A and B are shown apart, each in its own frame.
Chain A
Amino acid sequence: MLFKRKKKVEKPEIPTASLGDITFLMLIFFLVTSSFNTEMGLQIVLPEESKETITVLSKNIVHVRINRFGDVRIENDPVEWTSVADKAMDLLKQPNGDSLIFSIIPTRSAKYDYMIRVFDQLKIAFEKTQKKEKISLSPAEDDEM
């Protein structure tokens, strides 16, 4: 058998001098892009503890009740929680919409999550109609037997 004589191949070299710069760029990149635990949340201002009560026309208050199963009632009308935003937007577009205050009243054993999702829906309604947000969290009610 005939063997070809192997050609002598010159060993290629990779330049290593710039590796440091590359890693340094990586360091900078990760420093810039890493976000230091940004917190997301729904902001609310709680009512002040005051001796005198503020009188609000009762027709301007929209009661949003949430029971322990997560069922939502707006002024005693049962509403699917996903359509609370639409319902609230309808109410806000009424002539007295600017003075409406939404009051969320969960029952004591309702889940926190139920309150958050209704609150979220109301926020969306106010955002979409571009009105000043007037949502209040009322003290919890006792569960109906």
Chain B
Amino acid sequence: MRKHFGKVEESSPSIPTSTTSDIVFLLLIFFMVTTVFRTEQGLRIDLPQALSSKKIETKNLAHVWIGYDGDRGVVSIDDRIVPIGQIKNIIEQKKRVNPNLIVSIMADRNTPYWISNDVFGQLIKANALHVSLTAKKVNAIK
């Protein structure tokens, strides 16, 4: 069989390269705009500061936000305000999904201690004993 067909001579086409920078730039802008840094909003809190604050692995974290409203404690998990008495059940459920769960306490520095005390009590009941008290890393105390 004849393999060779008559080839048509073509001039090599050139792609205009002057606009690639615009395209890449648009890509940059697109990714900057669409990146979601954290889906969880939590509560508006002012974190405490600590010198010995260490980096924690974000992989196994469950956040518990603790704030206050007057004399009342406000606790938020997964962007839902939950009564303190229900924390045990929620954390137990999370612990079943991920046995290596670390609970990250994001508490406002001005919350009365009893609120976090009650939260710790709930965590102990849920057997979630690995806890990280989130604090901003500072290099000097004021």
Contacts and interface: CB of A to CB of B under 8 A. Distances in A.
Interface of A: 16-17, 19-20, 22-24, 26-27, 30, 36-49, 66, 82, 106-117, 119-120, 123-124, 127, 137, 139-140
A112 B117 CA distance: 9
A41 B132 contact: yes
B135 to A, nearest CB: 6
Interface in B97-127: 102, 104-105, 107-117, 120-121, 123-125, 127
B133 A41 contact: yes
Given A111-B109, A111-B112, A43 B121 contact: no
Interface of B: 17-18, 20-21, 23-25, 27-28, 31-32, 37-38, 48-56, 58, 61, 66, 102, 104-105, 107-117, 120-121, 123-125, 127-137, 141
A111 B107 CA distance: 11
Contacts of B121: 139
Contacts of B23: 20
Given A23-B21, A107-B113, A112-B108, A46 B50 contact: no
Nearest to A116: B48
A30 B113 contact: no
Given A42-B135, A110-B113, A37 B58 contact: yes
A76 to B, nearest CB: 20
A23 B113 contact: no
Given A43-B54, A111-B113, 13 more contacts: A20-B20, A20-B23, A22-B21, A41-B105, A42-B50, A46-B120, A106-B113, A108-B117, A110-B112, A113-B48, A113-B109, A116-B109, A119-B133
Nearest to A38: B55
B73 to A, nearest CB: 11
A73 B49 CA distance: 21
Contacts of B53: 40-42, 120
A112 B111 contact: yes
B114 A109 contact: yes
Contacts of B24: 20, 23-24, 27
B48 A48 contact: no
A23 B31 CA distance: 14
